[in-house]
Amino acid sequence: MLSQQTSSRIPASVSRRRFLVSSARTAGAAALMGLGVGLYSRQSVSLSAEALRPPGALTEKDFNSACVRCGLCVRDCPFDTLSLAKLGDPATLGTPYFTAREIPCEMCDDIPCVKACPTSALDHSLEEIDNARMGLAVLLDEETCLNFKGLRCDVCHRICPAIDQAITLEHVSNVRTGKHAMFIPTVHSEHCTGCGKCEYGCVLEEAAIKVLPIRLAKGELGQHYRWGWEEKEKAGHSLVRPDIEHQYNLPEGQRYDYEGEGLIFDERDRENSGSRSDESPFASDPLETLNRGLKESP
C-alpha cells in the first residue's frame, strides 16, 4: 500500500523513468551474468583427450546441445565404464565419459547405453557396435613399446576385439639385431572403434598405445589429393601416357631404366662403396655372430 501511495504522488514521467532505469539495470545484470555463463561454458566444453564419449555420441558440438546430463547411459552400462563428469573432471559438467586406461568399453552387442539415451545424444541409429567410433587408438610411444624393441609383447593386438582388423602386426626388419623381425602393432582406422581395450591392456607403467578423440588422432587429406595407384586401378590402365618421358633428378652415378630394370647404380660406384650384398650376414662361427657389435662398443 505504501508503494501505491507514493507512486500516486510521483508524476507519471518520473515513475516511468524509474521503471525504465531499473529494468535496464536488471537486464544489464542478467546479460552480464549470461555473458559470464556463456564464456565459462565455452571454456568447459573442451573435452580433454583422455576422456572418451560413449558409443554413438554425436560430434562434440552437437553432443553438448543434445545431452541433458541425466546419466541414464551411465546406469545402463553393465560394466560401470561410464561416469558423469563432476566439476573438475575432464569433460563438460554432467556429461558421460570414460577413461580407457581405467575401464574400457566392452562393446556390448545390444549397446544398452545408446538405447537408454532419451535425447539421441547417443545416436540411436547406431545398431552395430563395430560401427562405433569412440576414438582412435594411436601407438604414441615407439620408444617404450616393447614390440618396437623387437619383443613379442603383442598384448594390444591380442586384447583387441577386432584383432587382425583394427590392430595388425606388421613385420619390419630389426635393424638392431640385423636378422630378426619386429612385429609392429598397426592401427587401422576403418576398423578401430576406440573401445580402449589396447590402452587398458598395455603392460607398460604408462600405456604406449592410447585412444585419442578422432579429431586429434586422424589426419585429413586435401580434397584434391588422389592416389595414383588407386586411380590407375579405377581407370583400368595407366594414367601416365608413355610418350612423356619421366624426368628423374638422380644423384651422380645412378640412372633409371625405363624399360623395367629400375634404378641402376654405375659399376664404378658400386665397387667404391664396397657393397657386400652377395655375402651372408652370418659368420661361420655362430658365437661370433651373436657377439657382433660388442667389440665396437666402449
Q: Are 87 and 151 in contact (CB under 8 A)?
A: no
Q: Does position 121 bind other proteins by CB under 8 A?
A: yes
Q: Does position 110 bind other proteins by CB under 8 A?
A: no
Do the bridges between strand 96-97 and strand 209-212 make them parallel or antiparallel, or are there none, so unpaired?
unpaired
What would the grid cell of residue 51 be? 576422456
Residues 123 to 162 in contact with other proteins, rule: CB under 8 A: 124
Q: Going residue by residue from 4 to 33, which x/- string records binding to other proteins, judged by CB under 8 A?
A: ------------------xx-xxx-xxx-x
Q: Does position 112 bind other proteins by CB under 8 A?
A: no
Q: Cβ of residue 82: shortest distance to other proteins, in angstroms?
A: 10
Q: Cβ of residue 53: shortest distance to other proteins, in angstroms?
A: 15
* Among positions 12, 13, 61, 205, the unique one binding other proteins when judged by CB under 8 A: 61
Residue 1 or 235 having the CB closest to other proteins: 1
| Burial of 184 from C-beta contacts in 10 A (0-12 / 13-18 / 19+) | middle
| Burial of 168 from C-beta contacts in 10 A (0-12 / 13-18 / 19+) | middle
Q: Going residue by residue from 67 to 96, which x/- string records binding to other proteins, judged by CB under 8 A?
A: xxxxxx-xxx------xx-xxxx--xxx--
Do the bridges between strand 262-265 and strand 254-257 make them parallel or antiparallel, or are there none, so unpaired?
antiparallel
Q: Does position 48 bind other proteins by CB under 8 A?
A: no
Q: Are 245 and 258 in contact (CB under 8 A)?
A: yes
Q: Are 194 and 133 in contact (CB under 8 A)?
A: yes
Q: Are 70 and 118 in contact (CB under 8 A)?
A: yes
For other proteins, the binding residues (CB under 8 A) are 1, 22-23, 25-27, 29-31, 33-34, 37-38, 40-42, 44-45, 61-62, 64-72, 74-76, 83-84, 86-89, 92-94, 116-121, 124
